[in-house]
Structure 1
């Protein structure tokens, strides 16, 4: 194994750790506040579909390299399933904790219905049947990967808007974005490094590369909102929270 390959593996598992850990501050934040009103329901609704797509895309590409979806590392596969599990946990929190006026918008419902309708139809139309097995075109798996890209592009917008609407980021744990942007930077770096390693498929993984860039871009906006547009005022936030709880108001 070459030095570049070892370095790529180290970077890959580091990005896996950063992206995976990024889920837990929000899970803890929801548990601490016993309230999920700081986290956009639209964001989570898109996230669950996105991670289902990423699991299918990564599993197919990892098990069958002839699909030509680019290099899929074990850590890519591990991250996809870990992200799906954490999103399911957050959905569970949304079921048990108050949402306030936070709800799934009609626009996001339309996007989800469109994706959950179009993708299965495309899968059926691209299947090749014979007596012994069913073969699915690699374009179908690529479409699922592009579904994940579309969702990732859309999913951050509700959270950015939710922060803007409330003029605060209380309830959104900033460590989510700090760890997320770290994982995005490392993911992009590993994807670029893979192109210089001779013993792997030189075709770039377009979904992984674009996901990294999208993550960097939107997390930069969220970080800017937190530290510059709506800087946290701890004393005021704690007072507001205690006052609202005393008055029986869960929407913070």
Structure 2
């Protein structure tokens, strides 16, 4: 009798465990997580029920911004016999919106973590294409901008007029920029940390970001190498620049120690690298501008570099404005102005350099024999 009772308890436990296991494994999946639609266009995605044999329940789709998209139907009733539905998405205004979900009408454990959909609605496909073209154009302009300075140094066999503080800040900035891009793009563990922190985000680093950063570092190192090969006069890196770089080095060294002791993640360290890069971008033009002012000349400082940098900066901001207009996403500029502000700051300095070269010191911009 005791043996029979024990067997019944065992079977009941096994049945309960199996029921919990099945309900835990049950989930709902969507056919896509990203959908791009033109204004007034209707798109579709599918939702599928997996591993379910319990009573019926209702899946409720939640729209983040119901003024941007409309779902038909907004909810569906799943059952063991009805496991798949197609949902229509109507784009009613430009912008970005997310779709999430919850379930009602059941006590079963149903995983809806896979139910999220990012929907972007644009006004004009031509503007979308134009923004891509502009993006690659300013990428090329910024990439080529390093070579006029390299050529001038080679032709003159001299780097007099090229500020060494600018070069030292620039190379450190691009190294840190490359570390951030390569780490987030090419190291799976760091990318996993990013998606854990932003589970519904997109990796912000693209291949062209990696290529540009590495190329910029190599080109700047080549320019620094010319400083050891060609005439440089009494130019050297100032104590001020060394002090600033020392502060940045101490900050990043402490960050590395905190990563090594598991206080911070590698992702945090990469973001600290990006913050230092932003700080360097804000100050790196000042030494060269002051040097031109002190010498009352821009000889040795490539105006071609400035013109290409100016072109890239203008096109970068233009792309942001086009995207903001096309998607009604002005928050990306005015809500988080870092990228736009840095582009504007660079353009302002480029204009100042052009004024120095073509107006203030145009009569002194010649080579002495």
Q: TM-score normalised by the shorter chain: which range applies?
A: 0.7 to 0.9
Residue matched to 2:175? 52
Q: Distance in 1 between matches of 2:232 and 2:272?
A: 33
CA displacement at 1:117 relative to structure 2: 1.6
Q: Distance in 2 between matches of 1:227 and 1:5?
A: 36
Structure 2 length-normalised TM: 0.56
Q: Distance in 1 between matches of 2:339 and 2:206?
A: 11
Residue matched to 2:135? 12
Residue matched to 1:31? 154
Q: Distance in 2 between matches of 1:222 and 1:177?
A: 7
Q: Which runs of 5+ in 1 are unaligned?
A: 243-252
Structure whose alpha-carbon radius of gyration is higher: 2
Contact 1:128–1:136 (CA under 8 A) maintained in structure 2: no
Contact 1:29–1:171 (CA under 8 A) maintained in structure 2: yes
Superposed, 1:135-214 pairs within 5 Å as: 135-138=265-268, 140-195=269-324, 208-214=339-345
Instruction: Report the 3-state secondary structure (helix = DSSP H, G, I; strand = E; otherwise coil) of the residue aligned with 1:38.
Output: coil
Q: Distance in 2 between matches of 1:215 and 1:71?
A: 22
Q: Distance in 2 between matches of 1:60 and 1:189?
A: 29
Give 1:77's match in structure 2, choosing from 210, 221, 225.
210
Structure that is richer in helix per residue: 1
Structure 1 length-normalised TM: 0.80
Deviations 1:107-148 (A, max 9, x none): 000011111121131243256849xxx94244x323221211
Instruction: Tell which has more relative contact order, 1 or 2 (C-alpha 8 A, sep 6+).
Output: 1
Instruction: Report the 3-state secondary structure (helix = DSSP H, G, I; strand = E; otherwise coil) of the residue aligned with 1:39.
Output: coil
Instruction: Report the 3-state secondary structure (helix = DSSP H, G, I; strand = E; otherwise coil) of the residue aligned with 2:284.
Output: helix
**Is residue 2:227 matched to residue 1:94?**
yes
Q: Distance in 2 between matches of 1:180 and 1:49?
A: 19
Residue matched to 1:248? none
Instruction: Report the 3-state secondary structure (helix = DSSP H, G, I; strand = E; otherwise coil) of the residue aligned with 1:144.
Output: helix
In structure 2, the CA distance between the partners of 1:161 and 1:168, relative to structure 1 (3 Å rule), is same
